[in-house]
Amino acid sequence: MSAIPAEAIRAENQADSSGQYDDLVNAGYEHGFVTEIESDTLPPGLDETVVRAISARKGEPEWMTEWRLSAYSKWLEMPTPTWAAVHYPPIDYQAISYFSAPKKKDGPKSLDEVDPILLETYEKLGIPIEEQKALAGVAVDAVFDSVSVATTFRKTLHEAGVIFCSISEAVQEYPELVQKYLGTVVPPTDNFYTGLNSAVFTDGTFVYVPKHTRCPMELSTYFRINTANTGQFERTLIVADEGSYVSYLEGCTAPQRDENQLHAAVVELIALDDAEIKYSTVQNWYPGDENGKGGIYNFVTKRGDCRGHRSKISWTQVETGSAITWKYPSCILRGDDSVGEFYSVAVTKGRQQADTGTKMIHLGKNTSSTIVSKGISAQHGQQAYRGLVRIAARAAGARNHTQCDSLLIGDKSSAHTFPYIEVKNPSAKMEHEATTSKISDDQLFYCRSRGLSEEDAVSMIVNGFCKEVFNELPMEFAVEAQKLLSISLEGAVG
Amino acid sequence: MLSVKGLKANVGDKEILRGLDLEVAPGEIHAIMGPNGSGKSTFAHVLSGREGYEVTAGSAKLDGTDLFELEPEERARLGLFLAFQYPVELPGVNNMYFLKAALNAIRKSRGEDEFDAVSFMRLMKEKLKVLHLDDSLLKRPVNFGFSGGEKKRNEIFQMAMLEPKLAILDETDSGLDIDALRIVADGVNALRSPERSMIVVTHYQRLLDYIEPDYVHVLAKGQIIRSGGKELALELEEKGYGWIVDGEAA
């Protein structure tokens, strides 16, 4: 993201009631527990040796090691971005341990061989990694800390020709695909965190859908940060070849911790001619305690490249967790007639801060993009929508529709909107709508006078507010997201 | 059914209700009329538990239960219903979904089985028929983008679905043209029953042409200053409020 100073719409909350529903908001974080499992962890600190050590432990080929080292040397020169509307103490990158893998004996071949403690953790989280999930048609590549420990339904996918594996495996088994696409959407030098990620990424997911193939199931990966003080540097690369389709679901939870945990993931999507990628995220990392202590820093770079003509990339995100979110899933609309979409619900409460939005870069002719952003702030929650729509000179007939709504709860929360619009082709059609509203006392009283509890009323109004986004989620995920939102906002209203 | 005794209530420092007494027996319809600022809406809001009012004296009991001890939702679950003068819009919240959630919250609190989708739909169809309404409003968000008439009809439909013991209609006639008024009044009449009482708060007599009350009360300066039968409403229509209010003052 470049920091382009532009028109900023600021919407401060001017409510009258104060803190009367705080007890309801303070419903504890449900997923706060720590699994006791031995970790093979590198000592804290980062230098060239550490980068080499990570690469060596993963048994990577020479080219991969070189790629990391080159990223590392460039990262050393890069400044931390400071333009986002978030505040946190400087991060000591030498205090972080850059590798942590659950110790495994010979590597599990099936779920039976997976460490039962791990499975128990997943079950506590309600992650249905086992047969039920398989029956539901979802293949899960579960990432526990940094190394994939279980993969299901690989076979069905294999028969369809779809490659769905950890990025480490892909480096070993499909080096030519990885070399061809890795870093082509998000180069290591893109920003500070992508530089860091490129140097030290430990694992992540690789998906390749061959030409004219519709992926036979929704692909799903659950990430979970576990070992204390271990940064998570996930790397995801999804390539949809010509005329293919894939839907990918990503969901996250993390156990309660004292120290801040850095998460700097990179996700790259590539859609070739007539291909479509749908990428959905439900993010529920530990947001910190009510004073903001101990939450996850979620500094993620997600970008999709509609490289082919008539290709489509759609991002849907529901962000309820993390202490700080810095995230702008974007689309580069390179191919003619390509389509980019961004649907987002972001919730900040307690001391959570989020600076999130998207970038739609229109390069091809007749490209179109849709942005629907719903921000909800409660208690001391701080939120900024930051979105860039750029229409390049050659992008004749480009269209964008942006809708950006903020809902404020209580009198201490705030929402800000920073829409950047750059149009260099006069044929572009641009629409921008923005609203800021509050859950009003009238609305709450109306619901309560019909017999609904205050919590139910809030959850109903908030879910109504987010409906357009939830409609974009796969059914199963939509239900989960709705539930998550209700839990997150229990009683957050005043 | 409802017993209100010596009710006094403030908004801020200002006393609005100044010792109001009212007894409503099952099956009765009471009209409360009065000039603007007499405390009619305040009375409706205080009974239903809206914030912003302070009860300083008196009591209000519904079937012996002190309403002022209860939260608004608890009053609703007990069988109190307020038809709003200005029904509130809930964007994105589906009308049917809203009603089902409300009805089930009420049933659950009474230890009754919650309705599943099928039995809820059945009940809904039955009520639509009784009220001669079509289902066009049900698929839309609650009151969102509704015309004034649609909003009021929706209130009456909610009342039919929730089957309250005591319904308070707060200026339901305001802003309605004569056709909409008739539809709403027909609905109310269809919901009359020996077990259900209603308090109809209105400024004008015309609503009472369609909803025939058992009693008419005149509220002025926070007190009921005159009670009578439905002929009192006609007298008020003819002479205005001045003659009673001034008469009291003098």
Share of chain A above pLDDT 90, in %: 45
Q: Is A461 on the interface with B (CB under 8 A)?
A: yes
Residue in B with minimal Cα distance to A439: B90
Q: Which long-range contacts (CB under 8 A, 24 or more apart) does A175-180 make?
A: A175/A61, A175/A63, A177/A206, A177/A208, A177/A239, A178/A206, A178/A237, A179/A63
Q: If you average pLDDT over residues A370-382, what whole number do you get?
A: 91
DSSP assignment of B208-240: HHHS--SEEEEEETTEEEEEE-THHHHHHHHH-
Among the listed residues A211, A214, A209, A261, the one whose alpha carbon sits nearest the alpha carbon of residue A233: A261
Cα separation, B154 vs B145, in Å, equals 12
Q: Does any domain span residue A391?
A: yes
Rounded to a whole number, what is the distance in Å from the CA of A440 to chain B's nearest CA? 10
The pLDDT of residue B240 is 80
Interface test mutation site (partner B, options A407, A436, A449, max chain B beta carbons within 10 A): A449
pLDDT grade, residue B241 (50/70/90)?
confident
The pLDDT of residue B247 is 58
Looking at per-residue confidence, does A456 or A487 come out higher? Answer: A456
The pLDDT of residue A126 is 55
Rounded to a whole number, what is the distance in Å from the CA of A437 to chain B's nearest CA? 11
> By residue range, what is the domain housing residue A310?
34-440
Chain A residues with CB under 8 Å of B79 CB are none
Query: Chains A and B: how many Cβ contacts under 8 Å?
Result: 76
Cα separation, A283 vs A299, in Å, equals 12
Structure token pair of residue A477: 């995920």
Q: Does any domain span residue A456?
A: no
B114-135 tens-digit pLDDT? 999 899 999 999 999 888 888 8
Question: How far does CA A397 lie from the centroid of its chain?
Answer: 31
Contact (CB<8Å) B93/A449: no
Residue B96, beta-bridge partner list: none
The pLDDT of residue A385 is 93
Greatest Cα pair distance in chain A:
69
| Ramachandran region, residue B52 (left: φ > 0; alpha: ψ -120 to 50; beta: rest) | left
Residue B77 contacts residue B105 (beta carbons within 8 Å): yes
Domain ranges of chain B: 2-89+165-249
The pLDDT of residue A109 is 52
Cα separation, A103 vs A122, in Å, equals 17
Q: Is B12 on the interface with A (CB under 8 A)?
A: no
pLDDT grade, residue A261 (50/70/90)?
confident
Share of chain B above pLDDT 70, in %: 98
Q: Is B102 on the interface with A (CB under 8 A)?
A: yes
CATH of domain B2-89+165-249: 3.40.50.300
Contact (CB<8Å) B48/A465: no
Least confident of A113-127, A159-173, A443-457, B191-205: A113-127
Run of H or E residues at B182? helix B178-190
A103-146 tens-digit pLDDT? 543 444 555 555 565 455 455 545 554 433 333 334 445 554 44
Highest mean pLDDT among A99-103, A155-159, B219-223: B219-223
Chain B residues with CB under 8 Å of A456 CB are 101, 105
Q: Name the residue type at position A136.
A: A
Residue A238 contacts residue A201 (beta carbons within 8 Å): no
Chain B residues with CB under 8 Å of A442 CB are 88
The pLDDT of residue A483 is 74
Residue A217 contacts residue A139 (beta carbons within 8 Å): yes
Question: How far does CA A170 lie from the centroid of its chain?
Answer: 21
Cα separation, A14 vs A437, in Å, equals 11
Structure token pair of residue A103: 């110790």
Residue in B with minimal Cα distance to A451: B73
A10 CB-contact burial (10 Å; exposed 0-12 / middle 13-18 / buried 19+): exposed
Residue in B with minimal Cα distance to A465: B92
Q: If you average pLDDT over residues B140-169, what whole number do you get?
A: 93
Tally of CA atoms within 13 A in the half-sphere of A68 that contains its CB: 26
The pLDDT of residue A122 is 52
User: What is chain B's mean pLDDT, rounded?
Assistant: 91
The pLDDT of residue B235 is 85
Cα separation, A204 vs A183, in Å, equals 14
Residue B184 contacts residue B156 (beta carbons within 8 Å): yes
pLDDT grade, residue A263 (50/70/90)?
confident
Contact (CB<8Å) A460/B90: yes
Q: Does any domain span residue A483?
A: no
Looking at per-residue confidence, does B204 or A402 come out higher? Answer: A402
User: Which of A443, A449, A465 lies closest to B76 in CB terms?
Assistant: A449
Contact (CB<8Å) B49/A450: no
Residue B179 has pLDDT above 90, yes or no: no
Q: Give the number of other Cβ atoms within 10 Å of residue A89's Cβ.
A: 6
Cα separation, A378 vs A20, in Å, equals 12
User: What is chain A's mean pLDDT, rounded?
Assistant: 80
Helix crossing, A192-200 with A62-75: angle to 10°? 150
A130 DSSP 8-state letter: S
Looking at per-residue confidence, does A124 or A44 come out higher? Answer: A44
Q: Does any domain span residue A3?
A: no
User: Is the Cα torsion angle A178, A233, A95, A298 positive or negative in sign?
Assistant: positive
Chain A residues with CB under 8 Å of B82 CB are 449
Structure token pair of residue A412: 């201490």
Rounded to a whole number, what is the distance in Å from the CA of B217 to chain A's nearest CA? 25
Looking at per-residue confidence, does A485 or B25 come out higher? Answer: B25
A58 DSSP 8-state letter: T
Q: Give the number of other Cβ atoms within 10 Å of residue A222's Cβ.
A: 20
Domains in chain A, number: 1
Looking at per-residue confidence, does A87 or A28 come out higher? Answer: A87
pLDDT grade, residue A205 (50/70/90)?
confident
Residue A470 contacts residue A376 (beta carbons within 8 Å): no
SS3 A373: strand
Interface test mutation site (partner A, options B88, B95, B159, max chain A beta carbons within 10 A): B88
A412-470 tens-digit pLDDT? 888 999 999 999 999 999 999 999 888 888 999 999 999 999 888 988 998 889 988 98
Interface test mutation site (partner B, options A18, A374, A445, A462, max chain B beta carbons within 10 A): A445
Query: In Å, how far are A95, A174, A230, A231, B18 from A44, measured between CA atoms?
Result: 5, 31, 8, 10, 73
Share of chain A above pLDDT 70, in %: 75
Mode of pairing for the β-strands spanning A203-209 and A147-151: unpaired
Q: Name the residue type at position A32.
A: G
The pTM (predicted TM-score) of the whole model is 0.79
A450 DSSP 8-state letter: T
Among the listed residues A366, A254, A354, A259, the one whose alpha carbon sits nearest the alpha carbon of residue A309: A366
Q: If you average pLDDT over residues B59-84, what whole number do you get?
A: 96
The pLDDT of residue A63 is 95
A353 DSSP 8-state letter: E
B107 CB-contact burial (10 Å; exposed 0-12 / middle 13-18 / buried 19+): middle
